[in-house]
Amino acid sequence: MSQDINDQLVLISGASGTGKSASLAGLRNQEKVMYLNCEAGKRLPFKNNFKSYTITDPYQITEALEHAEGNSDYDIIVIDTLTFLMDMFESIYVIGSADTMRGWAQYAQFFKNMMQKNVASSSKSIIFLAHTRSDLNEATMSMETKVPVKGALQNNGLEAYFSTVVSTKKLTLKALENYKSDLLNISEQDNLLGYKHVFQTQPTKETVGERIRAPMGMFTQQQTFTDNNAQALLDHLKAYYA
């Protein structure tokens, strides 16, 4: 049994081009950010001082988490993206395996061990980025948006392992008119463009099919949409759990 809980854990999910990577630009003390790139070394869309590592084998993630623990060189760990990480595991350890059933069992166990052992016991702030996919649920005839995953992990979904899941969105300023808070700031650039990249922190009637979640009371109704600023999100989590 373990009582380890990492309160500084968040999943930032969303479709391509909605601001997942850009949300990292505001992270403080960037030289203490361990950035684990699972997307073949794809560059971030902004200049940074992160300690960046290109992941070529999924087990390098668990090694990195173990290395960072107790190491004052790192305050924040970013895994970009969880989607590509699980695809990598499938490519290396499942496809072409002599025993695919065993490969899929390892696929599920790798994720569970990473989350329940390395992530839960970590003293670092950990940010996972992930791509989402929308599919029609034929049973309810409604669209569902979630982080795609295969094997037994489909039953609960990857989001079930996170207390806080926000979704990146690109919304018009008109759509944000009724949401005013200290977590949402409309810049001069936003006004010029007429839209803003934001985090959605809780479902609305238009997004009931999305797996956005947060502990009760963490966000007010006015804070349904916030700046897509990962540092501000971590600060908000810290204040909530203080």
For residue 3, name the pLDDT band (cuts at 50, 70, 90): low
Q: Which of 3, 67, 61, 12 is nearest to 213 (CA)?
A: 12
For residue 1, name the pLDDT band (cuts at 50, 70, 90): very low
pLDDT digits (tens, 9 = 90+) for 174-230: 999 999 999 999 999 999 999 999 999 999 999 989 999 999 999 999 999 999 999
For residue 4, name the pLDDT band (cuts at 50, 70, 90): low
pLDDT digits (tens, 9 = 90+) for 129-153: 999 998 877 777 678 899 999 999 9
Dist CA 43 CA 208 (whole Å): 33
- The yes-or-no verdict on residue 242 having pLDDT over 70 is yes
Q: At what angle do helices 100-113 and 82-89 cross, to 10 degrees?
A: 150
Task: Return the percent helix, strand and coil in the chain, to nearest 5.
Answer: 35, 25, 40
Q: How many CA atoms lie within 13 A of 113 on its CB side?
A: 12
What global pTM score does this model have? 0.95
Dist CA 201 CA 183 (whole Å): 11
Dist CA 129 CA 32 (whole Å): 18
More confident residue, 61 or 2: 61
CATH annotation of 9-169+197-241: 3.40.50
Domain extent listing, the chain? 9-169+197-241
Kindly state the average pLDDT of the residues 144-169. Answer: 94
CA 35 to chain centre: 13
DSSP 3-state of 100: helix
Q: Which residues contact residue 220 at a Cβ distance below 8 angstroms, ignoring those fewer than 6 apart?
A: 181
Kindly state the average pLDDT of the residues 107-115. Answer: 97
